[in-house]
Amino acid sequence: MAEEMYDAGEYKKSIPLFEKLVGPYGGKPQLERIQYMLADAYYQTGNYELSSYYFGKFIANYPTSSKVEEAAYLSAHSYYLAAPKYSRDQTDTNKALEAFQTYITNYPDSDRVADANKFYQDLNQRLEKKDFEIAHQYYHTEHYNAAMTAFDIFNEEHLGSPYKEEAMYFRFKAAYSLGIKSVLTKKAERLQEAKNSYDKFQKNFPNSEKLKEMDGLLEDIKQAELELNEQIRAVELQTNS
């Protein structure tokens, strides 16, 4: 009856029947088909957390099955479909990335590899977006040191990211704000860091439209350095007198 419902597309009705059969058929050859149909029934009904779980169990229990490649792909796709937006916890995203990478490695000649690569790239972009937004939030809340560190990590971990220009731009602006607002004893070092950040941006994006704004901020930095030097000389003169 469970199989008849499954074959007829009555997946929701087949699930509780398959669940009841798992125990009684434990260790029997029929369990292979039962576990696969149960996993696929959850997949077909949109319960991707359970479909990924049961496909994973199927792969572990029946590694030589003729259905194992399909199960591996559907397990990865289940994690992909369960993965949330970039702004939420990315546990399922990381599981999906790992599952797709394993699938691509194990079945490089499969017709599904093109789709697996497409989903893999989409998941990577979600993680990039999340990491960028975390760094940008540090900048927005004026935690400039944390923002600079977060943007540096972002650029190291996401080479070739479409967010690279924005990341380097806000990294410079964080360094600029930190330097301009800095205390006297740390100002020279931090203003130099802002200039270094500007140079890196200009080298990577010499034709960026953002350079016009950044050039104006660079002049502010140079002016702040002149004023700092005057302050230091005034302090030295006062000390000597």
Calculated CA dihedral for residues 136, 137, 142, 148, nearest 10 degrees: -40
CATH number (domain holding residue 237): 1.25.40.10
Better-predicted residue by pLDDT, 85 or 71: 71
Does the pTM of the predicted model rise above 0.75? no
**Range 79-102 average pLDDT:** 83
Report whether pLDDT(25) > 90: no
How confident is the model at residue 232, as a pLDDT? 81
Q: What is the DSSP string of 16-69?
A: HHHHHHHTTTTTSTHHHHHHHHHHHHHHHTT-HHHHHHHHHHHHHH-TT-TTHH
Q: What is the pLDDT of residues 96-123, one digit of tens each?
A: 999 999 999 999 999 999 999 999 999 9
| Residue percentage of the chain with pLDDT more than 70 | 97
Domain that holds residue 186: 142-241
Report whether pLDDT(87) > 60: no
User: Which of 90, 107, 130 is the endpoint of a domain?
Assistant: 130
User: Which of 81, 107, 130 is the endpoint of a domain?
Assistant: 130
9 and 116 belong to one structural domain? yes
In a domain, 204, yes or no: yes
How confident is the model at residue 146, as a pLDDT? 97
In a domain, 135, yes or no: no
Angle (nearest 5°) at CA 173 between 168 and 179: 125
Confidence class for position 89, pLDDT limits 50, 70, 90: low
In a domain, 236, yes or no: yes
Better-predicted residue by pLDDT, 85 or 178: 178
CB 127 within 8 A of CB 93: yes
Among candidates 79, 151, 81, 69, which has minimal Cα distance to 111? Answer: 69
Q: What is the domain count for the chain? A: 2
Angle (nearest 5°) at CA 17 between 11 and 22: 115
Q: Mean pLDDT highest for which of 42-51, 122-131, 178-187, 225-234?
A: 42-51
Confidence class for position 160, pLDDT limits 50, 70, 90: confident
